Amino acid sequence: MSRGGSCPHLLWDVRKRSLGLEDPSRLRSRYLGRREFIQRLKLEATLNVHDGCVNTICWNETGEYILSGSDDTKLVISNPYSRKVLTTIRSGHRANIFSAKFLPCTNDKQIVSCSGDGVIFYTNVEQDAETNRQCQFTCHYGTTYEIMTVPNDPYTFLSCGEDGTVRWFDTRIKTSCTKEDCKDDILINCRRAATSVAICPPIPYYLAVGCSDSSVRIYDRRMLGTRATGNYAGRGTTGMVARFIPSHLNNKSCRVTSLCYSEDGQEILVSYSSDYIYLFDPKDDTARELKTPSAEERREEVNLLKAMFFYLLQKTLIH
C-alpha cells in the first residue's frame, strides 16, 4: 500500500492506543476489517529452531526473547532479532509439547510446560536435566492443552485439559505431584474438555475458559478454591460470572482452540476448530442459563467418570 493510502495515520493511531491516548473503541471502528491494515504486515524473520511442528510460542516480559515448544519435545529460547538460539532444553516430555510459558519475575529462568500425555514440567534452566525431570505434575489424565501464568506472580500457574479440569498449582507448596487420581489442585471442573484458558490482564482474578461444547465461561477466582486450600466447591457453575457462545453453535460441540483477552480486558478473541474466529464482549452474560445442570451435562459427567475409571484401570494393568 502506498503512503498516500486510505490509512495514513495507522501507525500513529496504534501507538496512541498503546500509550493510552486513544479510545480503543474508536480505533476499532476506524480500522475494523480494513484490508490496508493487514497488508501492512510483512515477514520479518524465520527461526528454524525445531525438528517438528511448533505448537506454542510466547514472548518474555521484556519482548527480547521467544520461548517455543514443539512435537520434537524440546523447549527453545531464541533471540528473534539476532536469529540466534540462546538455549535448547531437553524438557523431559515424552509427547508433543502443547503449551509453555515463562514464569513471571523469574528473569526468564523458570518455565512451565505441558504435553499431549497430560504431564506438566516445572523447569529451571539453571538446573541440570535430571533435577528438572523430577519436577513434574501428572495430575491431569488425557491431554493437557494449555498452561497459563498470572501477571507478576512467580509462584502459581493454571492448566486445563481433556479431563475437563482447570487446575491451580503453587510451587511454594510443591514442585511435583505424581499421585494417582490427584484432585488436590482442581480449581474448576467444567465436566467437558477444557481446551484453552486466559487471564484478564487488568483484572487477573477474572479467568476465561474455553471448552469443547462451543462455550467460553468467565470465572471470578475470588469465589473459587482447591482442596489444597480447603475451599473447593466442585460445581462447574460456582464462581461463573458470564458465558457466551456463537448463536449458530448453541446446540453443537465445537472445540475452542484458543482464546485471549485484549490488553484492556474489554474484548476476548476466540478461535474454534472448523469454524471462524470471534470477538466477544466479556460482559455479555448468559451464565444464568447454566445455574442448574441440564440432562446433557449430567450425561457428560457420567461419561467423564466412566472415562476416568477406564483410564485408571488401564494404568493399573500396565503397572
> DSSP secondary structure string, 134-145?
T-EE----S-EE
Question: Please, are residues 10 and 27 in contact by the beta-carbon 8 Å criterion?
Answer: no
Q: pLDDT tier at 42 (50, 70, 90 boundaries)?
A: confident
Q: Which residue has the higher pLDDT, 306 or 38?
A: 38
pLDDT tens, position by position, 10-28? 667 777 766 777 776 676 6
pLDDT of residue 4: 38
Cα distances (Å, whole numbers) of residue 149 to 61, 79, 120? 12, 22, 13
Calpha distance 177→182 (Å, rounded): 8
Averaged pLDDT of the chain: 84
Helix (H, G, I), strand (E, B) or coil at 209: strand
Cα distances (Å, whole numbers) of residue 145 to 100, 104, 166, 275? 10, 20, 10, 19
Ranked by mean pLDDT, the top range of 209-213, 236-240, 261-265 is: 209-213
Average pLDDT of the residues in 286-290: 42
Average pLDDT of the residues in 211-228: 92
Calpha distance 287→258 (Å, rounded): 20
Helix (H, G, I), strand (E, B) or coil at 96: coil
Question: Please, are residues 209 and 217 in contact by the beta-carbon 8 Å criterion?
Answer: yes
| Of residues 255, 122, 125, 243, the one with CA closest to residue 185 | 122
Cα distances (Å, whole numbers) of residue 33 to 88, 93, 259, 262, 281? 39, 40, 19, 17, 17
Question: Which three cell numbers, joined as nine digits, stand for 29?
Answer: 471502528
Average pLDDT of the residues in 59-69: 94
Q: In terms of C-beta density within 10 A (0-12 exposed, 13-18 middle, 19 or more buried), how is residue 313 classed?
A: exposed
Interacting residues of 73 by C-beta distance below 8 A, sequence separation 6+ = 90, 91, 93, 94, 95, 96, 97, 115
Helix (H, G, I), strand (E, B) or coil at 255: coil
| Of residues 90, 100, 149, the one with CA closest to residue 120 | 100
Interacting residues of 4 by C-beta distance below 8 A, sequence separation 6+ = none
Per the listing, cell 465445537 goes with 254
Q: How many CA atoms lie within 13 A of 48 on its CB side?
A: 0
pLDDT of residue 138: 96
Beta strands 110-115; 66-70: pairing state: unpaired
pTM: 0.78
pLDDT at 5 over 70: no
